[in-house]
Amino acid sequence: MQVKGFLAAAVPAGVRYAGRLDLGLIFSQTPAVTAGAFTTNKVKAAPVQLDMERLRSGLAQAILVNSGNANACTGKEGMDQALATGALAARELGIDPSLVQVASTGVIGQPLRLEPFAQAMPGLVASLSPEGFEQLAQAIMTTDLVPKIASATVDIGGVEVSILGIAKGSGMIMPDMATMLCFVVTDAQIVFPVLNRLVKAGVGHTFNRITVDGDTSTNDTVLVMANGAAGNPWIDEDNLQAAALFGDALKGVFKELALKIVADGEGATKLVTVRIVGARDEDEALNAAQTIANSALVKTAFFGEDANWGRIIAALGRSECTFDPQRVGISFDDISLVENGVALGADREAAATAVLKQPRFTVTVHLGEGLAEAEVYTCDFSYDYVKINADYRS
């Protein structure tokens, strides 16, 4: 898929390893309205700090991204290097450096060498093309097994608007290796305050609802550039219906990418939706869902295809959610396994075990306390998760 007015490219620059795609660029032919969402970790990598500062303008024209080195925990020098790599791209593109966003993923705590960027930049810019996004999706992979791309179109006032997103991520954080990055380009005409709100809301219900290991990265970045090339009627505060339509499409792209990240979670063999229904309020529902979705004991039981509802109820019990243990119900897909806090017997457990043998399923916990609900997406916890994370730097 192509999006009007956007080009992309990726080249092997040798940031850490020779001979693999590790430097990418997204370029909009005109400055684009740009909004972002960034890690909430108190430790923010230099590129994150720089992007947050530059996005105050609500405008960007290029995103320069590298894998192999996260440029995190690198002190004042790290910021100098982030500025310098952005300046290299700006000069080669002939745009103002303030319009360049930068993103990095890879080893933490090691100085980022400028030389690979300087040598690769002319070739990178020369190879920009409307079809460059697939290569870009490959260039940002670290422990990812598959590149992650999603797209959508939406009709805004009779004009077709395109949205194209790429992402990487395989654990919520592996500061040596991985990070969640997502870049979305759209030719929609949209004002910054509306785009910004839609990005924050969309991220809150998609990327912030996935977990691989409960850790959050120093480099997590979502950037959405809208260059207006579609020429649709402006999406702004006076056109909230269009904002809702566009927001739904954007959220759909986010969600598709988010689920691809979980499905490709380090060592994952299953994609599991944990759903809490009947909670007192959404915060409690979300806290309960996240506690269950992050429990090592629940996730190893998923890997073992064991309908171990005791671990689910025990994780629920240490969450901050209000409930009465004697009213809890638990289902695996449409198989009800527990009602009013007690098991329904061996037949139901056998049926639930069959559900767990599938690559995707939903665990629903019924609280009977109210009407609020929340969903979180997680994966199982396998030997390979341990292997990937124990062996990585060796």
Interface residues toward a second copy, by CB under 8 A: 40-43, 70, 72-75, 107-110, 171, 173-176, 213-218, 295-297, 300-301, 303-304, 306, 308-311, 313-318, 323, 325-326, 338, 340-343, 381-383, 385-387, 389-394
- Inter-residue contact 106 to 66 (CB < 8 Å): yes
* Residue located via tokens 């609280």: 367
Q: How far is the CB of 284 from a second copy (least distance, A)?
A: 12
Q: Which is nearer to a second copy, 52 or 159 (CB)?
A: 52
Distance CA 77, CA 290 (A): 37
Q: How far is the CB of 218 from a second copy (least distance, A)?
A: 5
Q: Which is nearer to a second copy, 343 or 372 (CB)?
A: 343
Catalytic residue (choose from 142, 179, 206, 211)? 179
Distance (Å) of CA 105 to CA 11, 18, 374:
16, 16, 30
Give start and end residues of each alpha helix (H) in 1-105. Answer: 46-54, 75-93
Q: Which is nearer to a second copy, 72 or 149 (CB)?
A: 72
Q: Which is nearer to a second copy, 21 or 107 (CB)?
A: 107
Sign (positive or negative) of CA dihedral 231, 233, 237, 242:
negative
Q: How far is the CB of 383 from a second copy (least distance, A)?
A: 5
Q: Which of 85, 269, 70 is nearest to 180 (CA)?
A: 70
Structure tokens at 161: 């608007």
Look at residue 285 and give its three-state secondary structure: helix
Q: How far is the CB of 357 from a second copy (least distance, A)?
A: 12
Distance CA 288, CA 363 (A): 12
- Spatial neighbors of 190 by CB under 8 A, at least 6 apart, are 33, 226, 228, 234, 235, 236, 243, 246
Q: How far is the CB of 317 from a second copy (least distance, A)?
A: 4
Q: Which is nearer to a second copy, 250 or 261 (CB)?
A: 261
Q: Which of 362, 337, 357, 334 is nearest to 347 (CA)?
A: 337
Look at residue 32 and give its three-state secondary structure: strand
Query: Helices 296-303 & 282-294, crossing angle to 10 degrees?
Result: 60
Residue 206 bears catalytic tag? no
Q: Which is nearer to a second copy, 115 or 320 (CB)?
A: 320
* Cβ-count burial 61-86 (b if 16+ within 10 Å, e if not): bbbbbbbbbbbbebeeebbebbbebb
Q: Which is nearer to a second copy, 162 or 211 (CB)?
A: 211
- Spatial neighbors of 201 by CB under 8 A, at least 6 apart, are 247, 251
Q: How far is the CB of 124 from a second copy (least distance, A)?
A: 27
Q: How far is the CB of 166 from a second copy (least distance, A)?
A: 24
- Spatial neighbors of 212 by CB under 8 A, at least 6 apart, are 170, 171, 172, 261, 262, 265, 266, 268, 378, 379
Q: Would you name the residues annotated as active-site residues?
A: 179
